[in-house]
Structure 1
Amino acid sequence: MPPTLTHVALHVPDVDACVAFYEQFCAMRVIHRRAGKGATIVWMAELGKEHSFIFVLMPGGQSRQLAADDYSHFGFALGSRAQVDSIAEQARLAGCLVWEPRDEAYPVGYYCGVRDPAGHYVEFSYGQPLGPGAEHMALP
């Protein structure tokens, strides 16, 4: 069997703040919580993906200080441009919008960027050949 990406593990400065962020903005939920290394370790997943891909959030990390033009990010696909706009408005009100919604040529599509409480950037997109509607698109 070839390697399969199953999780990303992140040390974050505030686990609870990150859990709240990923619940609110990404519709992820806590699927496992345990004590470890003197604090709580949390596993989060999207509904239905609990056995295929998770985020592991661990205490003790430093806040990341990324530049606005740093495009390192986690990517989440949405079902419409209106959903991208809605996330951007929520993030604007919460003070964590990094990239205003914008349109770019295929395969990038329509997207915005949000900063999580640990400083990681999270992209929300529509129109990429990944996620909802991808079965109707093909990479060139």
Structure 2
Amino acid sequence: MAPRLTHLALPCHDLDATIAWYEKYTPLRKTHHRQDPLGAVAWLSPEELGIVLVFIQKNETPKPVPILAPLAHLGISLDSTDQVDEIATRGENEGCLAWEPRQESDPVGYICALSDPDGNLVEFSYGQEI
């Protein structure tokens, strides 16, 4: 098998809130969860095969520790500009909109971004051909 990127691991301060946020706003779903003496771990991935996000809550992580900010981010591709606008409206109504929807030059496309419970950015885009 050729080497391939399998996962990205990020710390979080509230694993349950993080799982709920990603399941609400993204196509990622919890596929694994475990607790050990040092903390808790959850794997989130899309239904189709792809990269897995691993969130780790250590017992000594009582507050948010943003890793993907202010420019670093995860990217989610959507099917239309309307879907980007809808996710931006939801994020604005719930206090997590980080970037207003906007058209960027090629190859970026139409984007917005939300901030997860730890301040990590998740970009939602249409027309970004990656």
On whether the aligned pair clears a TM of 0.5, the verdict is: yes
Paired with 2:33 and 2:126, the residues of 1 have a C-alpha distance of 32
Residues 1:103 and 2:106 aligned together: no
> What is the aligned partner in structure 1 of residue 85 from structure 2?
85
Paired with 2:56 and 2:91, the residues of 1 have a C-alpha distance of 24
Paired with 1:85 and 1:125, the residues of 2 have a C-alpha distance of 10
> Which runs of structure 2 are paired with 1:105-124 in the superposition (5 Å)?
105-124=105-124
> What is the aligned partner in structure 1 of residue 53 from structure 2?
55
Amino acid at match of 1:105: S
Amino acid at match of 2:51: F
Consecutive unaligned residues in structure 2, runs of 5 or more: none
Paired with 1:40 and 1:65, the residues of 2 have a C-alpha distance of 18
TM-score, normalization by structure 1: 0.83
Amino acid at match of 1:31: T
Runs of 4+ in 1 over 2 A off after TM superposition: 36-40
Paired with 1:22 and 1:113, the residues of 2 have a C-alpha distance of 13
> Which runs of structure 2 are paired with 1:19-98 in the superposition (5 Å)?
19-49=19-49, 52-60=50-58, 61=61, 62-64=63-65, 70-98=70-98
Residue aligned with 2:117, SS: coil
Paired with 1:96 and 1:29, the residues of 2 have a C-alpha distance of 20
CA deviation profile, 1:30-77 (whole Å, cap 9, x unmatched): 11111234332111101112xx310111103452458x8x31100100
TM-score, normalization by structure 2: 0.89
Residue aligned with 2:103, SS: strand
The alignment's C-alpha RMSD in Å is 1.7
Amino acid at match of 2:107: P
Residue aligned with 2:23, SS: helix
Identity of aligned residues (%): 40
Amino acid at match of 2:19: V
1:84 and 1:14, CA in 2 relative to 1: closer, same or farther beyond 3 A?
A: same
Residue aligned with 1:58, SS: strand
1:65 and 1:30, CA in 2 relative to 1: closer, same or farther beyond 3 A?
A: closer
Q: CA deviation at 1:126?
A: 0.3
Paired with 2:99 and 2:2, the residues of 1 have a C-alpha distance of 35
